[in-house]
A and B are shown apart, each in its own frame.
Chain A
Amino acid sequence: GESVGLHLPTLSVQEGDNSIINCAYSNSASDYFIWYKQESGKGPQFIIDIRSNMDKRQGQRVTVLLNKTVKHLSLQIAATQPGDSAVYFCAEKAGGFKTIFGAGTRLFVKA
């Protein structure tokens, strides 16, 4: 079945370092990918998205890379800050409305 997986359940980085959170997906028909950040007790918050006709997209301090050949997605956070500590989910859509979330990576930022 469809699945979106993350390689690591937790990631610990030093404040100021760059963070890379990885995601592997299995549905080659997926054409829209989203990264969400979820802080404790809150709803997922949109960070950045990318469509399958692109391989890179940049936002403020964040970059998403898409490698369709190996079905891999990554989120890069530059100069990680304590406020970046949260659980990060990648999500995919293959047309339609259903969004499939991955298992999440918890990012810890050490001061």
Chain B
Amino acid sequence: AAGVIQSPRHLIKEKRETATLKCYPIPRHDTVYWYQQGPGQDPQFLISFYEKMQSDKGSIPDRFSAQQFSDYHSELNMSSLELGDSALYFCASSFRGGQIEAFFGQGTRLTVV
């Protein structure tokens, strides 16, 4: 079965650079979530989109922005990268909004040097 696809899997950036992470949800899923997971930490909710509209917002820095496109894929844009942004970034998708289980992608490991 098709799963959530994230790209790239690994990304190395320098401080103050920008990065774009992409997420392709499971077909027919209309909701996308972004999470950040630091080493040894639990996933922290960043932001979610339902039917291409922002549906909820968590601890997403102002330097980050995201959107969901007409084909339901989503991109997380990160600017002025800091060392502390190094983490695993997970995307998850679900069907019919937030009250259904979400399926996670394999994540993008971002390293800021």
A contact set with B: CB distance below 8 Å: 32, 34, 36, 42-46, 49, 89, 93, 95-104
Minimum CB–CB distance from B89 to chain A (whole Å) comes to: 10
B42 touches A34 (CB 8 A): no
* Residue B67 is within 8 A (CB to CB) of chain A in the complex: no
Set of chain A residues within 8 Å of B97, measured between Cβ atoms: 97
Answer whether A97 and B31 are a contact pair too, CB < 8 Å, given A34-B101, A46-B102, A103-B42. Answer: yes
For the complex, give the distance between the alpha carbons of A100 and B102 in Å: 13
For window 86-107 of chain B, which residues contact chain A by CB distance below 8 Å? 90, 92, 97-99, 101-107
Answer whether A42 and B106 are a contact pair too, CB < 8 Å, given A97-B55, A97-B56, A97-B97. Answer: yes
Task: For A43, give its contact among B42, B55, B58, B90 (CB under 8 Å).
Answer: B90
Set of chain A residues within 8 Å of B31, measured between Cβ atoms: 97
B48 touches A44 (CB 8 A): no
Q: How large is the interface on B (under 10, 10 to 19, 20 to 34, 35 or more residues)?
A: 20 to 34
Set of chain B residues within 8 Å of A103, measured between Cβ atoms: 41-42
For the complex, give the distance between the alpha carbons of A104 and B39 in Å: 12
Residue of A nearest to B56 (CB): A97
A99 touches B33 (CB 8 A): yes
Set of chain A residues within 8 Å of B35, measured between Cβ atoms: 101
For the complex, give the distance between the alpha carbons of A44 and B92 in Å: 9
